[in-house]
Structure 1
Amino acid sequence: MSNVVSTAKFQDGLTTENLQALLSKTPFAAFLKPEVIKCENGFAELHVAMRRDLTQHHGFAHGAVIGCIADSACAWAAGSLAGDVVTAAYTLHLLGPGVGEKLVGRGYVVQSGKTIIVARSEVFAVRAGKEHLVAVATATISVIKRPSAGTV
């Protein structure tokens, strides 16, 4: 039995609806529980409600959670243009503690090529309705090429 979640139907680009459907079949996403707010035209936004199991020893959002949100926002923004993508590399700058009711990630495509897309993202902690910037990231996203039918 394969653990691969097919994304073949997303070759023309991720949308808010089909991305949420894909995440419902992805084990790590089931743990993180991101809410896809928007995924279109080189932009993506996701929200993650803060929970104790997402924190580190000081009670802040764990850096790995913030990194995942930043990476996801970049990849999903790229996927909205290119379909199936994976992250090749990302750089994360943590700017402050992730403390609040939820974390918000917003990703933007900077430049889109045939095989590589460069994106950037920002992650905010929302406290009392106000956004506080906690991280910025840049990412190199690889477009996945699927073989055409009948080729090996």
Structure 2
Amino acid sequence: MIDTLRKVNASAAFNRWAGIEVSAVSEGEVELRLPWRDELGQYTGFLHAALIGGLIDTACGFAASTVAGNVLASHFAVNCMAPAIGEAFIVKARVVKAGRKQVFTVAELFAEGPQGQRLVATGDAILVPVEARA
């Protein structure tokens, strides 16, 4: 499963540009890592909210795909709880409920630094199964 998601991750131009890495996968669960680079920051040096949303969306989508195949987000929400500043960022997502037409997921984003991991954002997404593109 991890090899499949690593291939999918490598095929996404945004994920390659950002530097998103697939670090762990199990049925209904995914963990991604993003090493910090200056170009990922906003004007005060924190991780940009666009990247926070992108990490949560990607992790939730990957978690859903482990139980439902190809999926597309129909809704996602992000809650920024603290400034996202760290040496790397870890997002953990899991499937809450997988139905035939919708998959409900949640995620937590942690900033990793010298003092360990600190929760900086949470999110949730609803994903729908879709046919693979030809």
For residue 129 of structure 1, report the CA deviation from its aligned partner.
5.1
- Percent identical residues: 28
In structure 2, distance between residues paired with 1:80 and 1:40: 7
Q: 1:59 and 2:45 equivalent?
A: yes
State which of 60, 84, 87 in structure 2 corresponds to 1:101: 87
Q: Unpaired runs of 5+ in structure 2?
A: none
1:134 alignment counterpart: 120
In structure 1, distance between residues paired with 2:90 and 2:8: 20
More strand by share: 2
2:72 alignment counterpart: 86
Q: SS of the residue aligned with 2:131?
A: coil
Normalising by structure 1, what TM-score?
A: 0.84
Q: 1:143 and 2:121 equivalent?
A: no
Q: 1:27 and 2:13 equivalent?
A: yes
Normalising by structure 2, what TM-score?
A: 0.94
Q: SS of the residue aligned with 1:145?
A: coil
In structure 2, distance between residues paired with 1:25 and 1:74: 17
Task: Assess if the C-alpha contact under 8 Å between 1:33 and 1:48 holds in 2.
Answer: yes
1:11 alignment counterpart: none
State which of 29, 33, 40 in structure 2 corresponds to 1:43: 29
Task: Assess if the C-alpha contact under 8 Å between 1:40 and 1:81 holds in 2.
Answer: no
In structure 1, distance between residues paired with 2:127 and 2:101: 8
In structure 2, distance between residues paired with 1:28 and 1:76: 15
State which of 54, 65, 68 in structure 2 corresponds to 1:68: 54
For residue 83 of structure 1, report the CA deviation from its aligned partner.
1.0
In structure 2, distance between residues paired with 1:39 and 1:144: 21
Give CA-to-partner distance per residue, 1:123-146, whole Å, 9 cap, x none. 000011511111000110111135
For residue 66 of structure 1, report the CA deviation from its aligned partner.
0.8
Q: Which runs of 4+ in 1 moved over 3 A?
A: none
> Aligned-residue CA RMSD in angstroms?
1.4
